[in-house]
Chain A
Amino acid sequence: MAGREEAKKLGLTDVEYDEILKVLGREPNYLELNLYSVMWSEHCSYKNSKPVLKRFPTQGPQVLQGPGENAGIVDIGDNLAVAMKVESHNHPSAIEPYQGAATGAGGMIRDIFTMGARPIALLNSLRFGSLDNKRAKFLFEGAVAGIGDYGNAMGIPTVGGEVYFDDSYKENPLVNAMCVGIIRHDKIVRGKAAGVGNSVMVVGAATGRDGMHGASFASGELSDDNQDQGSPMQVGDPFKEKQLMEACLELLQKEWVVGVQDMGAAGVVSSTCETAARAGNGIELDVALVHQREKDMKPHEIMISESQERMLVIVEKGHEDDVKRIFEKWDLEAVKIGTVTDDGMLRILENGKLVGEVPAVSLAEGAPAVKRESKRPAYMDELNIDLSKIPVPADLNKILAQLLDLPNIASKAMVYRQFDQTSGTDTVVKPGSNAAVLRIKGTKKGIAISIDGYGYYCYLDPYEGGKQVVAEAARNLVVSGAKPLALTDGLNFGNPEKPEVFYQFEKCVEGISEACRHLDIPVISGNVSFYNEGKDSAVYPTPIIGMVGALDDVNKYCTMKFKKEGDVVVLLGENTDELGGSVYLKEILDVVAGPAPRLDIDLEKRIQTCCLKAIELGLVSSAHDINQGGLAVALAESCIASNLGFVGEIETDLRPDTLLFGEGQSRIILSLPEENLSVLNKLAEEIGVQVSVLGFVKSGSLKILVKQKEQVIGIIDTPVESITEIWNNAIKWRVEK
């Protein structure tokens, strides 16, 4: 038997140990205690986050599968659906970025094909310390190569992503991967161990001692002590995963397959107890039957190992040899390890001898919820300062050049060129525009996918930041011509035991939920990663939103690049007097100060409706939302992408730097043939959106005259060629330095 002291060593609290005693009516043995320790870790149980996550709207007529499965699934019409999920692999990537990021992508891909869907796209969202820092550079290059090599070898295109550098992520980078798959409605498979007497099988790679207690490792802060532990790391094998994917997709066509579950965190134990709990059943298994690649593995090691590229499959009794035949074709093993029972117990044998027995549902869902204390961080008030005292800079051209030279704004081509973006021959809009667009072969349809997150706004104001990230992800789909359908979230926060961190978490979730409700975009899957802490403080609160939208006619997609000289350039929405939270303040003037831009969600909805309608009507040549760096950077990006320029005069009562670099929300820049302007104006009026002409597309230079009462108060005038040079090379120069 294993007592309270042992439980503590494994990371279980007194309350949790008492709960185990209550559930079992006896002391657990060492194996059982290990099972509880991994399953009741934050990573597996979401014990800190569950009560808060209940606020997410998760319903909608388009939702075919909401949270609680391996991935969420949303209807895109014509009997087709999209499976999607975001997941983090932050702690492993902090230690060994190549394998950490690679196995993160691998786990994500498994979650998608586990549902029966064929993965068609990968995206990623990456956060590192500033590139001046040697270790940050090492983590950045390693993670990019790792995530790239894995996806590339699998032949799944990486179609989008984002990279952001800030020293809050210096010790604890964030590596979030998203996978999207396509499936027919009638082919969806769920992770259920249904049907008493059915066979439980492990398929894929053999089990070793890698990744022991990986889930628990992810549920604590990184420290110098655990940086020395090699054991929680897993190693990826994309070739095996490719074979596993093909074998599973072939297997899942069979009507005698009952359920499938990826063996991710906490391996055999999580997949067995979760599938059993979902079906209200139990599972009896013999650990000796699990195929192993190391000698003398103990029962608890086999149960909690996180060896990669394995799946749990439940099939109707009598079809075990059929499973084996399919896996043999793909040079993989498949072994029966147990049976579905009706008593709700996860019963573990070793060579026929009982070694552990616990209620499956208590492992899967019984972790006592933790009510964390929440406190508004004091820094939030200190960051609201009077910005009017900041002098207006004389040389606005220089500011624009400095902004375009920031790794956070500059081209990320150096990153995404390392990803195969075109395998599968469905990528219509590649990385570097607002969102990726993919066609669906055999239909007229397309989907657009975005992934966004902005920890800095959330740091300044978690509630507004939470709203903003959903709005931005949706805006990126809308400007691509797609109607947003559903989202998946990756919530990356610090240590939830700190009341200030928990406050950030609660408020971000509140903001996300609010935006989801108003924009009618349900949350269908997600992941929470806590304990992302550096030496001195937590990372910026960083919710990542992955979103999918649909285009009824993929040919109507839109991109941000200007198309034609002479097109009129207009602003949908209004320029606001908001300088707080801007990149300009933070990174050029070194003023970390809010308030973060406010988001009027009703206005946002109208702007998006108007933009989508205008694209669908074919009025528009290009569309781009205004974001980090403000209006000037957005115009510059459209110029650089097209190698065309812009000339315009803007009358304003704002400071010129606020107008050019402020990051007020709910603004979209459209370019269109002038003859379409009156139709657009009428449409905007009907919807209740302001349209103002900014200028015209004209080759050569980016030229903006800012005027106040007929007086010129600011000038941007720069050859497109020179800003292109800066924007293209900012990251490359820093990495190669």
Chain B
Amino acid sequence: MRCAVIKFAGTSGDGDCYHICKNILGQPTEYVFHKKTFAPQDFDLIILPGGASHGDYLRPGALAARSKVMNSILDAAKAQKCILGIGNGFQILLEAGLLPGAVLINKNLKFHCDDVFFRVENSDTPFTGLYKKGEVIRLNLACKYGNYYADSETIEQLKTKNKIILTYCDENGNPIKEANPVGSLENIAGIINSEGNILGLMPHPERCAEEILGNTDGLRIFKSILQYVEGGKVRGR
């Protein structure tokens, strides 16, 4: 699997994603600087990492979504390449219109960093094939603008078409309000596009993928993509 990690101006999570793809998965991985372009066939997985591109100025992701490299990402999206946006990368995908909706500032107006519980709502995607539907996992959340919002029509569509991938829940899998530290609608923490090749996630699976860091629940996101790409379109169970 050939992986690209995009370096937007001010992005800080690029090194973390590179480390997972290159050193943990052992896949050929390259950084792509935001002033550069690439062709859709150059990569199988394109990661838009987290971490305050452009200092979150204006709106998180708004300025990065206008970067030169976005043209290549749009082409790759059309070519059905796997695109994963994490944290700020998710926000960039929203701002670029590749995913529906928007994010607001967290309900308590504060940055929130903690390991929290999520329920996997759909395991029939290139990104979640190695999880079970309904499985409760723990991932690291670190954001100030994680409060997902969309109009009711969009929310309805996401729900009926099974495009909500992760929701905040308690340790037993109940999607209660108290388990949602950001205040997002329907406890949404991750959504996929209608074609199923673009995933946006608020939590950071790349930070929970090694034993020494005390949590490996996030690794299966990357392994799922690897299996999907290498295994030739085999989707989850």
Contacts and interface: CB of A to CB of B under 8 A. Distances in A.
A556 to B, nearest CB: 11
Given A242-B12, A423-B16, A428 B213 contact: yes
Contact of B13 (A148, A417, A423): A423
Given A152-B144, A239-B54, A417-B112, A422 B207 contact: yes
A428 B210 CA distance: 10
A423 B210 CA distance: 14
Query: Which label, helix, strand, loop or mixed, suits the secondary structure of the B interface?
Result: mixed
Given A242-B55, A422-B204, A155 B13 contact: yes
Q: In this complex, which of B10, B56, B110 has the most chain A Cβ atoms within 10 angstroms of its Cβ?
A: B10
Given A155-B51, A155-B52, A441-B19, A421 B10 contact: no
Contact of B212 (A149, A154, A239, A555): A555
B123 interface: no
Contacts of A155: 11-13, 51-52
Q: In this complex, which of B35, B142, B204, B206 has the most chain A Cβ atoms within 10 angstroms of its Cβ?
A: B142
A424 B142 CA distance: 12
7 contacts: A152-B144, A154-B12, A242-B52, A421-B142, A423-B51, A425-B19, A425-B213
A243 B9 contact: yes
Contacts, number: 88
A152 B112 CA distance: 11
A441 B13 CA distance: 15
A418 B113 CA distance: 6
A423 B12 CA distance: 8
A416 B112 CA distance: 9
Given A423-B12, A423-B142, A153 B52 contact: yes
B214 interface: yes
A330 B142 CA distance: 25
A420 B50 CA distance: 12
B15 A424 contact: yes
B111 A243 contact: no
Contacts of B23: 441
Q: In this complex, which of A155, A427, A441, A554 has the most chain B Cβ atoms within 10 angstroms of its Cβ?
A: A155
Interface string B63-100: 00000000000000000000000000000000000000
B18 to A, nearest CB: 10
> 9 smallest A-B Cβ distances: which pairs?
A155-B12, A239-B55, A153-B52, A155-B51, A420-B142, A425-B16, A418-B111, A422-B207, A239-B10
B52 A152 contact: yes
Given A154-B12, A239-B10, A242-B12, A425 B206 contact: yes
Given A145-B111, A417-B110, 6 more contacts: A149-B144, A152-B52, A152-B144, A153-B55, A243-B10, A421-B113
Interface residues of A, number: 33
B171 interface: no
A112 B178 CA distance: 40
A555 B207 CA distance: 17
A419 B143 CA distance: 9
Interface of B: 9-13, 15-16, 19, 23, 35, 50-52, 54-57, 110-114, 140, 142, 144, 204, 206-207, 210, 212-214
A630 interface: no
Query: Which label, helix, strand, loop or mixed, suits the secondary structure of the A interface?
Result: mixed
Nearest to A118: B15
B12 A418 contact: no
Interface string A417-449: 111111111011000000000010100000000
B159 to A, nearest CB: 30
B54 A425 contact: no
Interface in A146-185: 148-149, 152-156
Contacts of A602: none
B111 A148 contact: yes
A427 B207 CA distance: 9
A237 interface: yes
A331 interface: yes
A713 B12 CA distance: 57
Contact of B9 (A331, A417, A422, A427): A331
Nearest to A431: B113
A329 B35 CA distance: 9
A217 B13 CA distance: 37
B92 to A, nearest CB: 15
A419 B213 contact: no
B12 A439 contact: no
Contacts of B11: 155
A612 B200 CA distance: 44
Interface string A286-328: 0000000000000000000000000000000000000000000
